[in-house]
């Protein structure tokens, strides 16, 4: 399995990029991952990189995007932060990935049993983590306002995790004029997914510009 090059990346559409990820997750779940020569991929990418997607996911040790989507060196940009939240630096990284490096798809990937989401739901305050969890608080407030679920119910964490993923997708488009413009022009797509730490499966719960 060869890594992407400039020519192959140029032919990728947002729809194809999302399909690559869906197919990769299917291989992962069924233990059918491609047999890659990683050293060969090091050599193939030594002059440059042409990733087809940029994925924002949590730092959770079970959610490595390259593994769960069965991708190799040079295939995707991977951004990781607790709670898969957006900030200026992450937006700048996404702008670089799409505008400069040619990626065709942005994915925000949340997951089940997320510790950061649980901390936000519980109102944890601890050093610099306090400010990070504040970015999740609007999702906590929205879910609690719509649900009769108690603070101790594990289902609350799962509902907030899904809401947070959708909110971060919305934040990306709102806070980056560059990304908004590329979305409007159909040059890139954006999607939200939820990874199950119990099964290894990714469920995509929102997609934009991924039908062509």
Helix (H) / strand (E) containing 193: strand 189-195
The size of the chain, in residues, is: 212
In a domain? residue 75 = yes
Who has greater pLDDT, 126 or 153? 126
What is the mean predicted confidence (pLDDT) over 142-166? 86
Spatial separation of the C-alpha atoms in residues 211 and 186, rounded to whole Å: 10
Q: Return d(Cα 160, Cα 157) in angstroms, integer.
A: 5
Three-state DSSP class for residue 5: coil
Give the separation between CA 39 and CA 68, rounded to whole angstroms: 20
Tokens of 159: 């509902």
Mean pLDDT of 125-151: 89
**Is the pLDDT at 4 greater than 80, yes or no?**
no
* Distance in angstroms (rounded) separating the CA atoms of residues 65 and 10: 22
Rounded to 10°, the helix 177-184/88-95 angle is: 40
CA dihedral 61, 65, 71, 74 (to 10 degrees): -100
79 assigned to some structural domain: yes
Q: Considering the domain boundaries, does residue 76 fall inside one?
A: yes
Q: Is 19 part of any domain?
A: yes
Task: For 45-71, write each residue's pLDDT tens digit.
Answer: 777 788 999 999 999 999 999 999 999
Q: By residue range, what is the domain housing residue 58?
A: 6-207
Q: Are 24 and 82 in contact (CB under 8 A)?
A: no
Indicate the pTM of the whole model: 0.92
Q: Give the Cα separation of 67 and 44 in Å (integer).
A: 20
Check: CB of residue 31 under 8 Å from CB of residue 25: no
Residue 15 lies in a domain: yes
Q: Is residue 212 one of the residues assigned to a domain?
A: no
Mean pLDDT of all residues in 168-183: 97
Query: Is 165 within 8 Å of 109 (Cβ atoms)?
Result: yes
- Domain count of the fold of the chain: 1
Q: At what angle do helices 88-95 and 154-175 cross, to 10 degrees?
A: 60
CATH code, 71: 3.40.1050.10
């Amino acid at each position: 399995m060869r890594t992407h090059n400039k020519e192959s990346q140029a032919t990728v559409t947002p729809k194809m990029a999302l399909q690559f990820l869906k197919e990769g997750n299917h291989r992962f779940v069924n233990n059918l991952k491609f047999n890659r020569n990683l050293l060969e991929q090091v050599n193939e990418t030594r002059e440059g990189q042409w990733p087809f997607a940029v994925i924002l996911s949590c730092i959770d040790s079970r959610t490595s995007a390259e593994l769960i989507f069965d991708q190799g060196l040079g295939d995707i940009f991977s951004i990781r932060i607790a709670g898969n939240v957006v900030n200026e630096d992450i937006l700048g990284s996404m702008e670089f990935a799409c505008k400069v490096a040619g990626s065709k798809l942005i994915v925000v990937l949340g997951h089940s049993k997320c510790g950061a989401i649980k901390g936000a739901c519980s109102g944890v305050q601890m050093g610099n983590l306090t400010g990070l969890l504040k970015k999740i608080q609007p999702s906590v407030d929205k879910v609690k306002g719509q649900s009769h679920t108690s603070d101790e119910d594990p289902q609350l964490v799962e509902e907030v995790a899904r809401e947070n993923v959708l909110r971060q997708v919305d934040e990306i488009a709102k806070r980056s004029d560059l990304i908004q413009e590329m979305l409007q022009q159909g040059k890139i797509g954006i999607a939200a997914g939820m990874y199950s730490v119990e099964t290894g499966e990714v469920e995509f719960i929102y997609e934009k510009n991924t039908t062509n």
